[in-house]
Structure 1
Amino acid sequence: MQWGQIKTLFILCFLILDIFLLHHFITYSTTNYEPTDNVPMEDNVRNNVNGLSNVPEESPTEEAMLSAERKEFTETEESEIANLPNQGSIIIDHHLIISEFDKPLAINVEEDTEALAENIWNFDQYQYFGKNEAANTYIFFQVIDRPIYFNSSGTLLIQVNEEGEVTHYVQTILEKTDDQTEPEEINSPMNALTGLYISDGFIHSGDEITAEVQLGYHNLLPLANGAQLLAPTWQFEVNDESHYYVNAIEGHSTSSDSETFIREMKTQIMDYFAEDSTAEIEITDKEWEEEDIELLLAQLLEIKVETNGVE
């Protein structure tokens, strides 16, 4: 057989092979590949995210928005606050309490939380969230049916000294309004987690859900005063450090961290004491002088900056 005939035979063989592969590809693409929505994405999450035992399989299917407003203390309530033991307080605009203990309390906040009840007004309305080490501050979120996450109008911040003794606290509180909404259909926690992993990119392959996923309330744009409409929200703790919040109705998400929250709270407090402030400030300890208040504000929610040994 001549070389030209051999080349022609090879070309015909490869041409037939190409036609076969093209036919196979077209057939597979049009008949065997059927894109689906949630199943493959959820499988992707299950294969790449750890700690899924903390994501409840059964959860509420409906939940209402929470309509709340900043509580303003009555004269009777302010009298109760002023009479709390072993402390002097500042009450700002009848809604924010700043208190300093005359003698630090030797209480382990994490292990003996209830020991604080007799020293803090309406303490039973708050749930422990965690500690920010940089500010030596324990964070509690108010609970109205469910916890309300990172809301400056419904929080309790308890500050301790280097010995772990309680020295100060900051407290605000919300109350329900009469104008409540009807329940709406909400996403499942697994659906919310899928959004965090697939769409938002907050969670990555190998990350771990390190606490039980909870349903609470969150406002993506917390208001400084007035009424608030708080959305049912899934909270995810990831790798023991990051917290993500997914609106259970609309699906959009955000992240929050305790240090930013504490800084914002301190900025808000300092603004009340600015020269141009019109805030109404009541001091329950009549013996406090201006320098006492200035020292209190300087020490309050002070965040230590890590320098890694460099001054």
Structure 2
Amino acid sequence: MHWGQIKTLFILCFLLLDIYLLYLVMVKQEEADIDTKTNPEVSIEQQLESENIVIDTELPKDPDDEAFISINQRRFSEDDLEQIEKLNNQQTKVVEDKFIISIFEEPVALPEDPGEDIISSIVQNNVVYPTEYEFDSWNKDLNVLVFFQKKNDRPVYFNQNGMILVFLDNENKMIGYTQSMLGEPSVRNDKKPLIKPIRAIKVLYDNLQLGWGETVTDIEMGYHMMLPLDNGVHVLVPTWKVTVDENKNRYVNAVERFVFPVNDNEMLIDAIETTIERVRLIEDEAELKMDLIQWLNSKIQEIESE
């Protein structure tokens, strides 16, 4: 047999081998695709396991279909203002009937290492409409207690028109707070399917918001602002809040499957800057305004310097 014929035979053999190997790869890929479609939860869990990612919490039940809701800021009524004026141990100002700024005449001490229930009880004893809010977190960088207003028994995350910020001094005594309230929600559109909690975790993983060796320690459903409208109405969308390693919060749009670009410190700094602008609207009380603005600015400088 001539060398040219031998070389051609080898080329044909290698070509057939390549075709066979390609066929095997395509079969494996098709099997993987079928498995992913028929049992996505198992596939996701296996992926997380391969990255040493642990889910150390009981996942909520799969949610029903839901609609977006529309909501705007509530203006405090005359009756509300009377209740606010009756609050003890406080020097309180209400800006444009929508925003409470209060300073405690005597700082209110927190007990050493208080639990969430203790913190909630102490704060709720010093504000109006206390049951409308739930404790979210203690931001140690800014030394601020964060409370979100609830709608449909769910928290509305970082909406400056519906939250309480309680400011603490270096001894963890409450020295003042700000409070705003949202009005009543209305349904905005037809119901839409919401992603399951395990799928929200997968969205974080796919977006590099959850990585090797991290642990999902909590997951709950709330609302996040989708967009503000020109008339002041806010559109809120059901949102999964996923807590990683107990102190890192991620927010996943439960309808459109994307991660909200939320940083807790940045959101709080924005809220404090908004508070400063509202303090400037207080009529008279020049000394109080100056003290408040200087103190709030110091909070921002502390975190920015770090």
TM-score by length of 1: 0.82
Q: Which residue of 1 aligns with 2:131?
A: 124
Pair 1:233-2:239 in alignment? yes
Q: Which residue of 1 aligns with 2:201?
A: 193
Shift of the 33–51 alpha-carbon distance from structure 1 to 2, 3 Å rule, reads: closer
- Tell me if the contact between 2:69 and 2:186 (Cα under 8 Å) persists in the aligned partners: no
- Tell me if the contact between 1:96 and 1:171 (Cα under 8 Å) persists in the aligned partners: yes
Letter of the structure 2 residue corresponding to residue 202 of structure 1: Q
Q: CA deviation at 1:181?
A: 4.6
- Tell me if the contact between 1:168 and 1:300 (Cα under 8 Å) persists in the aligned partners: no
- Within 1, Cα distance between the matches of 2:70 and 2:241? 19
Q: Which residue of 2 aligns with 1:300?
A: 296
Letter of the structure 2 residue corresponding to residue 229 of structure 1: V
Shift of the 19–306 alpha-carbon distance from structure 1 to 2, 3 Å rule, reads: closer
Segments of 5+ residues of structure 2 without an aligned counterpart are none
Deviations 1:64-120 (A, max 9, x none): 322221010001101110110000111111111110000001224943221222211
- Tell me if the contact between 1:69 and 1:175 (Cα under 8 Å) persists in the aligned partners: yes
- Tell me if the contact between 2:53 and 2:211 (Cα under 8 Å) persists in the aligned partners: no
- Within 2, Cα distance between the matches of 1:269 and 1:27? 64
Q: Among 62, 81, 84, which residue is 1:81 paired with?
A: 84
- Within 2, Cα distance between the matches of 1:65 and 1:50? 31
Deviations 1:97-153 (A, max 9, x none): 110000001224943221222211112211111112222111111111211111111
Matched ranges for 1:1-311 at <5 A: 15=11, 18-34=14-30, 36=33, 39=40, 40=43, 43-48=46-51, 50-54=53-57, 56=59, 58-108=61-111, 110-111=114-115, 112-113=118-119, 114-144=121-151, 145-179=153-187, 181-198=189-206, 200-210=207-217, 212-221=218-227, 226-274=232-280, 279=281, 281=282, 289-300=285-296, 302-303=299-300, 304-305=302-303
- Within 2, Cα distance between the matches of 1:191 and 1:305? 34
- Tell me if the contact between 1:66 and 1:176 (Cα under 8 Å) persists in the aligned partners: no
Indicate the larger mover: 220-229 or 159-168.
220-229
- Within 2, Cα distance between the matches of 1:101 and 1:57? 39
Aligned-residue sequence identity (percent) comes to 24
- 3-state SS of the aligned residue for 1:43? helix
Segments of 5+ residues of structure 1 without an aligned counterpart are 284-288
Q: Which has the larger radius of gyration?
A: 1
- Tell me if the contact between 1:242 and 1:257 (Cα under 8 Å) persists in the aligned partners: no
- Number of positions where the alignment pairs a residue of Structure 1 with one of Structure 2: 292
Letter of the structure 2 residue corresponding to residue 208 of structure 1: T
- Tell me if the contact between 2:279 and 2:293 (Cα under 8 Å) persists in the aligned partners: no
- Within 2, Cα distance between the matches of 1:269 and 1:26? 63
Letter of the structure 1 residue corresponding to residue 201 of structure 2: L
- Tell me if the contact between 1:70 and 1:225 (Cα under 8 Å) persists in the aligned partners: no
- 3-state SS of the aligned residue for 1:202? coil
Shift of the 59–30 alpha-carbon distance from structure 1 to 2, 3 Å rule, reads: closer
Aligned alpha-carbon RMSD (Å): 3.0
- Tell me if the contact between 2:279 and 2:292 (Cα under 8 Å) persists in the aligned partners: no
TM-score by length of 2: 0.83
Q: Which residue of 2 aligns with 1:286?
A: none
- 3-state SS of the aligned residue for 2:159? coil
- Tell me if the contact between 1:61 and 1:185 (Cα under 8 Å) persists in the aligned partners: yes
- Within 2, Cα distance between the matches of 1:224 and 1:89? 30
Letter of the structure 1 residue corresponding to residue 200 of structure 2: A
Letter of the structure 1 residue corresponding to residue 95 of structure 2: I
- Within 1, Cα distance between the matches of 2:304 and 2:234? 36
Q: CA deviation at 1:41?
A: 5.1
Shift of the 213–179 alpha-carbon distance from structure 1 to 2, 3 Å rule, reads: closer
